[in-house]
Amino acid sequence: MKKMSISEKIPALKPNTGWRAVAIEECGEPLVSINQESLLSTTFSAHQIMVVPQYYHQGIESAKAELFAREGVVARLIRVAQKLPDGYRLLVWDAWRPIEVQAALYRKFEQQVKLENPTASPEKIAELTSKFVSLPSDGPQKPSPHFTGGSIDLTIADSSGIPLNMGTEFDDFSEKAATAYFEDNNVSAEIQSNRRMLYNLMVSEGFTNYNEEWWHFDYGNQFWGVIKGAKAIYGVPKTLSSTLHMNS
């Protein structure tokens, strides 16, 4: 087996076109807290994974300070963090999203797209908005990717908790947000190196990347399934009601 290199070039990434057609066989895996060290691991140093819930801090409707993801996603995040070079840590911005948060985000970005494209048709506005924020859906066969608990938005930070330079901010709408952008536009070796480290470490633990967003990775959901050519194992979380209670 080829040994993973964190400096390996990011390849041309497959788009997730057709992801809604991926079949789901829900495995029943629970959502667990990313914030609580006891749920991560009894031997894992919690400082290796920082949780900074962006939408809670931005005041997005219904967003919470505690982040949740599927148990298998959290286990993989721990292994990614353990592979980081000394002095680095993972910084998680978002994971499972209640449908209310997904809807609020969609409305927010839809308004931004309308302002930037005042002459665009409603269909074009929806197309541009959905490029970065999926339509809110809690349907059992077409749930929004973050609603499944299988999507994670994150970066790498230094020992002081300062995010590494990835070339754009989180939730950037420009073409520079595309994961492999700096492979063909190498204006900064630092940015290129940082993106490669994040991408290669996440992929090494089975995650797939959304090619339009360097920060977005998936495991087990339909985004992941269309890239892997496999059925999704995460649909609507069965522990959703208890999770909502914990977040109240």
CA distance 67 to 227: 25
| pLDDT over threshold 60, residue 242 | no
Residue pair 35/51 in contact by the 8 Å Cβ criterion: yes
Per-chain mean pLDDT for the chain = 88
Identify the weakest region by mean pLDDT among 37-46, 58-67, 141-150, 159-168.
37-46
Helix/strand number for the chain, H first, E second: 9, 7
| pLDDT over threshold 60, residue 246 | no
Q: Report pLDDT for 155.
A: 98
For the chain, give the number of residues: 248
Residue 240's pLDDT band, with cuts at 50, 70 and 90, is low
- Residue ranges per structural domain of the chain: 19-99+136-247
Angle at which helices 122-130 and 99-116 pack, to 10 degrees? 120
Rounded average pLDDT over 48-69: 93
Q: Which fold has domain 19-99+136-247?
A: Muramoyl-pentapeptide Carboxypeptidase; domain 2 (3.30.1380)
Residues 6 or more apart in contact with residue 200 via CB below 8 angstroms: 4, 5, 6, 7, 8, 10
Q: Report pLDDT for 86.
A: 93
Q: Tell me the percentage of the chain whose pLDDT exceeds 90.
A: 70
Rounded average pLDDT over 84-113: 92
Q: Tell me the percentage of the chain whose pLDDT exceeds 70.
A: 89
Phi, psi of 146 (to 5 degrees): -70, -30
Q: Report pLDDT for 40.
A: 45
Q: Report pLDDT for 3.
A: 65
pTM comes to 0.89
Q: Report pLDDT for 41.
A: 45
pLDDT digits (tens, 9 = 90+) for 178-215: 999 999 876 789 999 999 999 999 999 999 999 999 99
| pLDDT over threshold 60, residue 248 | no
Residue 72's pLDDT band, with cuts at 50, 70 and 90, is very high
Secondary structure string (H, E, C) spanning 19-58: HHHCCECCCCCCEEECCCHHHHCCCCCHHHEEECCHHHHC
